[in-house]
Amino acid sequence: MNTIRISSRMRWLLLALSTVLVAGCTEIGNMQEQPKYADPYDESVVFGVAAPELDPNAVPIGALREDQLLYAGRVDGELADEFPVEVNEALLLEGQRLYNGFCSPCHGYVGYGDGVISLEGFAPPASFHDPVIRAKPAGHYYDVIVNGQLVMFSYASRIPDPEDRWAIVAYIRALQLSQSATLQDLPEDLQAEFAAAVRASEAAPPAEDMSSGTGR
Ligand code: HEC
């Protein structure tokens, strides 16, 4: 029974080895006898205090915000007039949802500054269709969402995801375009369709006037 004898010798070997290893836990680098700190501000031989001050430049893992355009609406420190995300229909619809929820109470659904708060006696914000405000770069709108402006408080904590903020900015741009677009801004096929619809409505007989007459 040669094989059994070998394996029993192996067992002894393993047992001897593990005894050395287990002993190592207490003898080598003795963790169970390291100093314990009851108070985070106890004196420590390694750090000075048990809980050292964070380096002011420390960044939590996954929280590095290197992309200035995405996180601050800026390029080279200046407010930028570009988007760090792709502007597509899905983004605009999300922007509409967020704008209607967070911004319309003051700025109004179309952005004229005629939200319900003005009915309550608050000073209304300026219109997003004011040419001076319309001319401001996209980064300005992002910046106001993050930092607020005068009486408007910051929305950074309520809209924490930068993509959501950019979705709102994109929707404000869509609102601005919707109120200042000309026929020439439409793609050519839509221009033709629109012109045909106008011609059709002009050619149609006027709708019967229901306001006068006998029926009640
Ligand atoms: C409680 C009311 C209120 C809400 C809600 C609100 N705003 Fe404002 N906002 C204001 C007022 C008031 C001003 C004008 C501040 C000032 O005097 O400059 C303003 C100014 C702004 C401006 C600057 C316009 C300029 O002068 O260039 C932007 C951009 C803006 N708001 C975007 C937003 C967005 C986006 C939201 C939603 C996330 C929002 N606001 C939500 C009240 C509000």
Q: Which two tokens stand for residue 172?
A: 């404000």
Contact at 8 Å (CB) between 29 and 44?
no
First to last CA, the chain: 114
- Is residue 155 within 8 Å of 149, Cβ to Cβ? no
Q: How far is the CA of 113 from the centre of ligand 1 (A)?
A: 9
Spatial neighbors of 151 by CB under 8 A, at least 6 apart, are 123
Domain boundaries, the chain: 68-199
CA distances from 211 to 144, 205, 206, 208 (A): 49, 17, 14, 9
- The first and second tokens of residue 211, run together, are 């306001």
DSSP 130: S
Higher pLDDT, 173 or 118: 173
CA distance 112 to 125: 8
Average pLDDT over residues 75-91: 97
- What is the percent of the chain where pLDDT is above 90? 52
pLDDT > 50? residue 215: no
Strands 74-75 and 43-44: unpaired
pLDDT digits (tens, 9 = 90+) for 56-80: 889 989 888 889 999 999 999 999 9
Report which residue type is found at 114.
D
**Sign of the C-alpha dihedral computed for residues 116, 117, 119 and 120 taken in this order:** positive
* pLDDT for the residue 214: 46
| Ligand 1 neighbour 95 (Cβ under 6 A) | no
Instruction: Report the share of the chain in percent with pLDDT over 70.
Output: 87
Give the tens place of pLDDT for each residue, 11-33. Answer: 888 888 877 676 655 555 677 77
Report the separation in Å between the CA atom of 124 and the middle of ligand 1, taken as the mean of its atom positions: 9
92 within 8 A of 163, measured Cβ to Cβ: no
Q: At residue 97, what is the residue type? A: R
What rounded mean pLDDT belongs to the chain? 87
Confirm or reject: Cβ of 72 under 6 Å from ligand 1: no
User: Residue 194 pLDDT > 50, yes or no?
Assistant: yes
Instruction: Report whether pLDDT(171) > 80.
Output: yes
The pLDDT score that the predictor gives to residue 39 is 87
| 3-state DSSP assignment of residue 149 | strand
The tens digit of pLDDT for each residue in 122-155 reads 889 999 999 999 999 999 999 999 999 999 999 9
Q: Quickly name the fold that domain 68-199 has.
A: Cytochrome Bc1 Complex; Chain D, domain 2 (1.10.760)
Tell me how far the alpha carbon of residue 185 lies from the centroid of ligand 1, in angstroms: 28
pLDDT at 216: 41
